[in-house]
Amino acid sequence: MSSPDTSETSLQFATFYNVVNGKLTESSSGQTYHNTNPSTLQANPEVPLSTHEDVDAAVSAAQAAAGPWAETPWAERKKKLQGFATALESQTEHFSEMLVKENGKPLFWARIEVQSCVKWVREICELSLPDNIIEDTEQRRVVERYTPLGVAVGIVPWNFPLMLSFFKLPAALLTGNVFILKPSPFTPYCCLKVAELGLRFFPPGVLQALSGDDRLGPWVTEHPGIDKVAFTGSIATGKKILQTCSASMKRVTLEMGGNDPAIICADVDIAAIVPKVAMISFVNSGQLCMAVKRLYVHESIYDAFLAAMVEFVESSLKVGDGFAENSFIGPITHKAQFDRVTELLDHIKKNEFKVATKNSPDISQQGFFIPPVILDNPPEDSRPVVDEPFGPILPLLKWSEQSDVIQRANDTEYGLGASVWSKDVAQANQIASKLKAGSVWINTHGELEPNVAFGCHKSSGFGVECGVEGLKAYCNIQSVYSRPA
């Protein structure tokens, strides 16, 4: 790897470094690794393979920076974050192109992800955590206030590496915490550049990033110098993190996936909603925690709805390289996930579940491409319905009785999101009120805003990101009782 360049020019995306204590650094061992572009299978650049010593160095720098950053006035922290957002916005195209190369998503989706990160910083900066005056009399003053936790770590997955970093980063820094970003081994590139960009705005140790293999996560979560872990990923990994963090009573926020149901009522305008439902089901090749993953359609319109879904998906959702014109569905992001999805497809074939779509893989494409698959009313207890496929596989299921479909929608360990689609707003609200999920949508699905709490029910996780509650997640609450001398 060549020498780091810390100039004020545009970031270059040919070489990648850890960001530790205000500097671009290689691994202490000198070792590197790389991933591949999932569309072309060509190698991406080398990144540091961090060691335990690198983690110690980052945590030490963070601890040294934590006090001064917490003492920095809120308004000044906000100003630095706003400048950071403007700089990120100015380099949208560079980040978007790298995101396509490391993740595979089509370029227009990559641009939306970068633009959403900019939006998240700016709108999080408009939130505040003022002191809450409980009592203010001549005899006594009682105030609740929020103080930063200290050193926070964000562990982010490979499906939306930038967006899910920015669910965490601005809230942590605005509230006076310092932050270490730990990206997925599969998608380290944009995250490292985010921290590199941060060198232009934040003091050393305030925003750092480390890339590495599967050893890096445990080293970080076990470290006694970490005060908070914010994780997005699988249930299995989240449970391990929770167990590890309990030993030192670290604060934890977990978002661990979903198996979101969408309930389609009999009165919907099929032609109007099919494109919306199809796109949120297959966006990012189905690699989205809050994608529609179980589609319950009223039996009176089931056949027509299924036919319309198949026609739209096969005619409008083009599968292809992220840089190819009009691609909507890119490849599966990495080989391990590709193998998991293809194994599920083999299971579907072996069990003779009815597949409504006819598209077959394009064998001329060398990447991890899988065309969208729609299943026609598979068994409720089958794997494609019970499990989260995290790929372009969508089961359509019939329903007739409202109480039954609500029970089926809730019959899952997940509780991330759910939606109801109906012209009858009263009916839709009645159904929505009984769904056990952190986010519930009516006549839409997957909409999120920086100023609205994003939380989970059941095994999808606990804690909150975004909104004022997301700010509080990076704070201790402190109650102060004052009496006159």
Among candidate residues 375, 394, 423, 395, the one with its CA nearest the CA of residue 265: 423
DSSP 2-16: ------SS---SS--
Active site residues: 255, 289
CB-based contact 409:418 (threshold 8 Å): yes
CB-based contact 190:98 (threshold 8 Å): yes
CB-based contact 409:419 (threshold 8 Å): no
Burial (Cβ within 10 Å: 0-12, 13-18, ≥19) of residue 2: exposed
Q: Where are the beta strands (DSSP E) in 71-168?
A: 132-136, 141-148, 151-155
Token code pair at residue 61: 């720098």
Q: What's the number of CA atoms in the CB half-sphere (13 Å) around residue 42? A: 7
First vs last C-alpha separation in the chain: 63
Q: What is the DSSP letter of 44?
A: P
Alpha helices (runs of H) in 283-416, residue ranges in sequence order: 302-316, 335-350, 383-386, 402-410
Token code pair at residue 195: 């921290």
User: What is d(CA 57, CA 48) in angstroms, rounded to the nearest whole number?
Assistant: 14
- What are the CB-based long-range contacts (under 8 Å, 24+) for 43-48? 44/101, 44/102, 44/189, 45/13, 45/14, 45/15, 45/16, 45/189, 46/1, 46/16, 47/16, 47/188, 47/189, 47/192, 47/211, 48/16, 48/17, 48/18, 48/210, 48/211, 48/212
Strands 132-136 and 47-48: unpaired
